[in-house]
Amino acid sequence: MPFELTGWGIAAVAALTVAVLVSVVGCFLRVRTLLPARQLWGLLLLAALFVSLGHLLAFSSLWQLHFPVLLTMGIICLTWGVLRRWALLLWALFMAVEMLQFIGFHQYGSRINSLVLAETFEASMEEAMAYLTPLNLALMLPLALLLVLFTRLQLRLFRNSTRTELLNTGMLFCGLCGVFASCLLPTGQTVNYYWPACEVPELVNAVSEALTINEATINQVEGLESPADKHSTLMTLEGREGVVLVLHIGESIRADRMTVNGYSRRTTPFLASCGSQLINFPTCISAACDTCQAQIAILTNGRRNIYDLTPGMQPTVGSVIDLFAKHDFRVYSFFGRRCAQKLKYDRVVQLLTRHSEARFNAPGYPWTAVEQMRQVLQEQDRKQNLLLFVNNEGSHTPFGYYDLENPPFTPTTPDFQNPTAQAEEVNNAYDNTIHYTDEFFRRVADLLEGRPYVYLYVSDHGEYLGHDGCWGRAFLGQHPYLYHTTDGCKVGMFVLFSPEFAALRPHFAKSLEQLRCNSRMTVAHEHIFHTLLGLFGFSTPYYDASLDLTSPAVQPYTGPQPPKHED
């Protein structure tokens, strides 16, 4: 077998070669044009520490680290040669970000990227605090100590070095890396080989893309015309029937964690007891793992997330709620705490619910909204048609919205500090939040008992719960965008109705029956807008029967989705 020089052997040989070369030059020419051998070995140690604690491949692909180590040695020298002691500030900031990324990767399975940053930019203080746990704060202390150590090592290592020595040594190592890249690296290597040179532009691009995503999401909604601007009619109601539509965009509930979809635990006991009044959709695909983009797809005629530029996939008209408001439905909106952010989420959802007579925020857990609804119902004429829009936290990270004193599933931990190490507790907490939300459904149904009501629920997105090594949403480690390739994109969806609603008009009874016939097909957020129009009998140029689940002409969802499991 021919001898192959790979891994740390290349780094050792390269460093030894440089050290011997420097020693020979120093002995025969008596001129120091490069760093002396002793400093080179110190530089190698410093670079190895940098890479081991900052590079995500450090423990998953140990044999590949020779190249990043040599490149780090070269870049350290070049930055010190150009910036001198100001390089300390640059490296301290860079290593702080990289260590945080390293901790996040190994705890949650996701690295810093544009979607993570986009979510961070709109996160509330409550969501941010979910990650400032005792464990994560404890990890910050050694991180700070390591940064101090790196600073002292650099100062000690380069205190007597000249600019010429640093620049020459930096160019030498970068040159060696160029040779290795041409001759030794395998074909098709990823940018991770070129850490840290690749990291700064990737981080800058991630921040830029995140800001662009958030701005584009807001601009998209602001630029939509209202569906109420064009002629429309409501064929079924005259405005004095006392119909109540509850349109509930839930938070982070996976379809496969609901009892009504075959889950072994009783997470949705109320829904399971509803019998023929419940029309459940076991396979609903969410448009995006971002709340705002999901809301746009649900409430407008948009069909995909903001990334999909295929003709016909982006919305051309605004919120369906506008049409209900135009036709004498009084609109009231009930939110959790997040609507007070004054950031992307708040701006988007307020545009989509701009015809609300009043907006309510739950100061505590989501059950608070039930009493707020009771107040609205008591103050309204019983014959007034109402639209109650709900969007509360539900099963959002950190999975803490449930009765902490009497959790149905234990052991449990309502935090997100180290989910991999506490997988059972975190999954129990997640199931508890669904059980809690099911109780919310029951309380609202009891509140509306005797009224002609229809309750349409759909979750905005799902969550990763340790599947494929990832926690949270969207990106899976260092892999591409994988949201629609796993069951994390399948979300809860159902329609609950009262006998009074079904009996109010023949159109309602017929539409509900057709809705039940279509409930086994694969549906998606794109169906909601048109289904509401069809269920209530709206006539508008924006209606599409192929996306109306109350129509026999409806077509199933055919967009991005995970592969079907074989039984």
Nearest residue to 560 via CA among 495, 464, 488, 492 = 488
pLDDT of residue 183: 65
pLDDT of residue 498: 97
pLDDT tens column, 150-197: 888 888 888 888 888 888 888 888 877 776 666 655 555 556 667 787
Confidence label for 451 from pLDDT (cuts 50, 70 and 90) = very high
pLDDT tens column, 392-423: 878 877 788 888 888 999 998 766 666 777 88
d(CA 292, CA 312): 19
What is the SS3 assignment for 200-213?
Answer: HHHHHHHHHHHHHH
For the entire predicted model, the pTM comes to 0.72
Nearest residue to 19 via CA among 40, 4, 5 = 40
Alpha helices in 328-367, H assignment, sequence order:
344-352
User: Is the confidence at residue 519, as pLDDT, over 80?
Assistant: yes
Residue, of 95 and 139, whose pLDDT is higher: 95
List beta partners, residue 284: 491, 523
By three-state DSSP, how is residue 317 classified? strand
List Cα–Cα distances, 524 to 186, 220, 547, 549, in angstroms.
42, 20, 9, 10
pLDDT of residue 518: 97
d(CA 79, CA 10): 24
How is domain 223-547 classified at the CATH fold level? Alkaline Phosphatase, subunit A (3.40.720)
Site of tokens 């690296």: 185
Burial 35-61 (b: 16+ CB within 10 A, else e): bbbebbebbbebbbbbbebbbbbbeee
d(CA 23, CA 161): 16
pLDDT (average), residues 436-454: 96
pLDDT (average), residues 90-94: 83
Mean pLDDT (the chain) is: 82
Domain spans, the chain: 8-108+125-187, 223-547
Residues 6+ apart with CB under 8 A from 324: 245, 331, 387, 536
Query: Is residue 503 classed exposed, middle or buried when 0-12, 13-18 and 19+ CB atoms within 10 A define those classes?
Result: exposed
Burial 290-317 (b: 16+ CB within 10 A, else e): bbbbbbbbbbbbbbbbbeeeeeebbbeb
CB 293 within 8 A of CB 218: no
Residue 292 phi/psi, 5-degree rounding, is: -65, -45
pLDDT tens column, 100-120: 777 666 555 556 655 566 566
Residues 6+ apart with CB under 8 A from 532: 245, 247, 320, 456, 538
d(CA 229, CA 169): 69
Residues 6+ apart with CB under 8 A from 123: none
Handedness of CA 262, 263, 266, 271 (dihedral sign): negative
pLDDT tens column, 1-47: 333 444 445 555 555 555 555 555 445 444 467 788 788 888 888 88
Nearest residue to 365 via CA among 426, 439, 304, 291 = 439
